[in-house]
Amino acid sequence: MCDTMVARPTATANGGLIFAKNSDREANEAQAICAYPAAEHEPGGRLKCTYIDIPQVRQTHAVLLSRPYWMWGAEMGANDQGLVIGNEAVFAKKAPPEEAALLGMDLLRLALERAATADQAVEIIADLLAEHGQGGNCGHTANFEYHNSFLIADGHGRAVVMETMGSEWAVEEVASIRSISNTYTIGSKIDRESAGLRDAIEALGWNRENEPLHLADAIAHRVVGKVSSGQVRWCRTTDLLEQKEGQITAADMMATLRDHGSKAEDDPEWKPDGGLGGTVCAHASWGPLRRAGQTTGSWITEFRDGRPIHWITGTSAPDTGVFKPVFFGPGWGEVTLPDFGPMPTGEFNEDALWWCHEQLHRAVLLDYVPRLNAYVEDRVALEAQFQDEVAKFIIGSASPQDAGILAERCWTAASNAEEKWLEKVKNLPPRRTGRPSALHRRHWNGLNRAAGLSTF
């Protein structure tokens, strides 16, 4: 379960588009930050995606991705043309295909590799759906199939929402601010659609003669959408964006990706150990709907003077982690990217960035409020320092060489800080009143054993 947002230039403080996403997946499903260069391919070549082979194109763009370690596709990413995309699982009255095809994450990566603009990305995804379809298991340790929606934005300030059901699709142009979640969100404003969309919806019971088409009402599986909390989170992110519309910053998007809802705002002792979900910053727990509900990666892209700056955690639980800058895309040339470390797996590896942070994340869960508060002011100051350095850099020399040096320095500083924060947190004995529930501890102990980490 995920949430993706965009603010077009008229809605932001600096006049540049800002994109953001939380990727929510299983708690031990490590996510990697990966970069792949632009390439030329031989005619007639084949490409192995997660489950199926498809024809390769002659040229592909350089891409920067955040992807679950085991799949070919990605949850979110950007390319060297300034295109950024995030996807969401959505649930229709028509069951998703179980047979192996392209995953939504495969479609996302293929669009980034092959498209330069939001419109081109829509065309490529539409063509791939028509030729290969979508389907197959998207789960890490459990079967999980779904249809997909996409939020697609580019460096020209354009953004679109594309929602799919099987091989059919609809597109809505974004006017100012927009978010998507694990529910269909396009209503009666459909700017483009597949040729067979209305026939497919009619087969679900829509009366073409007497009812104007409202996509979400016509195709959404409301029960699944409700229990996945997609509607609740979509309303929450929309409300948070509306509150800041016209003055939205990357820092505002960071706060939104860390949001735990109004209950957490009203309760100073709130902790993420309940059985139900419903928060943008998601925490896995014992409830059956929460087991695939852990934020495992967070990403923000902001454009300044036409150049993208990506703020990426590379870790789970953004409330416990740090957004760090990466310079990649138009205007940055052959910039050197930070060292993202070795590829993680589903088992603990202290050298892997994602798993290194899990030690801090899971230590905080033992007594959420005081342990997070032990370092949150330092984290706020560190991110503010990064943002200030980037702002000064952009109006200064802003050369690709210096961009690489600055990014590496920030990523190193964040890693060093997290090491110190972990020691500080470990020195705070958990309070009896602050311990998570027994069901929550049992669930996380099982996850820790599976990953080779110490139990609670």
Q: Which residues are catalytic?
A: 2
- How far, CA to CA in Å, does 65 sit from each of 32, 69, 410, 454, 456? 8, 11, 19, 30, 32
For residues 25 and 292, is the Cβ–Cβ distance under 8 A? yes
Residues 6+ apart with CB under 8 A from 250: 18, 300, 302, 309, 311, 387
Residues 6+ apart with CB under 8 A from 423: none
Place of tokens 């939020």: 151
Tokens representing 326?
Answer: 């990466």
Which phi and psi (to 5°) does residue 168 adopt?
-95, 155
Of the candidates 14, 255, 289, the residue with the CA atom closest to the CA atom of residue 157: 14
Interatomic CA distance for residues 379 and 424, integer angstroms: 13
The residue count of the chain comes to 456
- How far, CA to CA in Å, does 126 sit from each of 114, 170, 281, 305? 13, 10, 31, 31
Residues 6+ apart with CB under 8 A from 434: 269, 271, 367, 368, 369, 370
Strand partners, 85: 77, 152
